[in-house]
A = this chain, B = another copy of it.
Amino acid sequence: MTRVQDVYPANRVSLREVGLRDGLQMVKTFPSTAAKQRWMREEHAAGVRHFEVGSFLPASTFPQFADVRDMIRTVAALPGAHGIALALNERGVNEALASGVAEVASVVSATEEHSQANARRSRDQAIANVKRLCELRDASSHKPIVNAAISMALGCSITGPVDPNEVVKLVEKCLEAGVDFVAVADTVGYAGPKQVEELTKAIVKLSGPKPVCIHLHDTRGMGIANASAALDAGARILDGSLGGLGGCPFAPGATGNVVFEDLVFLCESKGFDTRIDIEKLVAVRSILRSEMPGEPLYGGLARAGLPGRTTTREQVAGM
């Protein structure tokens, strides 16, 4: 049995690499299983400990996650590493539980409209699925951590603005259903830091001793500012993807996660010890570049490196 406080200690920030799942959701070419395993192992060597490794969705629709069981075995073999897999219905939940994955993630849409359009079910049905997941977890031998993410929680691609009170109600229902923690997702990158701070504060209060995860997309350049606001408001789990993988400049709605390496720099600059080596982390981008040459990668740290003394004389008159 995995205790949530052991995996996500309350006195530290846990940064989760979600590039192997969310980052690969919409890419045009898929990295091989071997490449994904190298990506994970090299990030692990850089100090990363939390990996979303895939999803239990039909492999016919999402062939990039057909190897999810291999990935779960790989992450389980890495010392101190924690694997997360997404499951959206009872079939997927059963498969996830059978796989022995350490954490199962589920999703509830913040708006009825998006829930119907995206998952062809009501929000109540999604909550019932979360409840069933918790029951099956309780009946399982290894009792993985269960989280529920509220997607479109800070803006919806269908309805536009989202009432934060609706999100709070859904979070309450997920907590009542027995999840170990709730994640709040700005799925389409609508929010600014004020909105993130206000919602995070409310969810942190509701969650009590349970941790809170904020899952941000950098669609409009607000990702790091929003992550900073989430930390200020008490969130201690943040998601990101190496190079901000998942973004696509040509497809509306295809929006990258927050750049993982910049997120590490942010946390360190705010005094949180991430135990992650940024330079080693940046070096892992070479795997993404060679496996997915068509995907744009983002990030300031990869461009500029860590701050340090330089021997270059600055040009006269800079400000």
| Chain A residues within 8 Å of B, Cβ to Cβ | 22, 25-26, 55, 57, 61-62, 86, 88, 105, 107, 114, 117-119, 149, 151, 155, 157-160, 183, 185, 187-195, 215, 218-222, 224-225, 227-229, 247, 249, 252-253, 255, 259, 262, 265-266, 268-271, 299-301, 303-305, 307-310, 312-319
Chain copies in the assembly? 2
Contact A319 B265 (CB under 8 A): no
**A253 B220 Cβ-Cβ under 8 A:** no
A193 and B270 in contact, given A158-B309, A221-B259, A312-B253 (Cβ under 8 angstroms)? yes
A252 to B193: give the CA distance in the assembly, Å.
30
The reply to whether A220 and B119 contact each other, CB–CB distance below 8 Å, is no
Given known A221-B262, A312-B252, contact A195–B269 (CB-CB < 8 A): yes
Assess whether A220 is in contact with B301, with CB atoms less than 8 Å apart: yes
Q: A88-B317, A157-B312, A187-B319 are in contact. Are A221 and B219 (CB under 8 A)?
A: no
Q: How far is the CA of A317 from the CA of B299 in the complex (A)?
A: 26
Interface pair B194/A310, CB less than 8 Å apart: no
Interface of A is mostly: loop
Judge whether A26 and B61 touch: CB under 8 Å. no
Given A187-B318, A249-B303, A308:B86 Cβ within 8 A = no
Q: Which residue of B lies closest to A271 (CB)?
A: B194
The answer to whether B304 and A219 have CB atoms under 8 Å apart is yes
Give every chain B residue within 8 A of A25 (Cβ-Cβ).
Answer: 315, 317-318
Contact for A314 among B157, B185, B271, B317, CB less than 8 A: B157
Are A157 and B310 closer than 8 Å at their CB atoms? yes
Complex alpha-carbon distance, A61 and B317, angstroms:
11
Give the 3 A-B residue pairs with the shortest CB-CB distance, closest first.
A192-B269, A221-B300, A221-B262
Q: Are A252 and B317 in contact (CB under 8 A)?
A: no
Choice from B227, B300, B314 contacting A220 with Cβ under 8 Å: B300
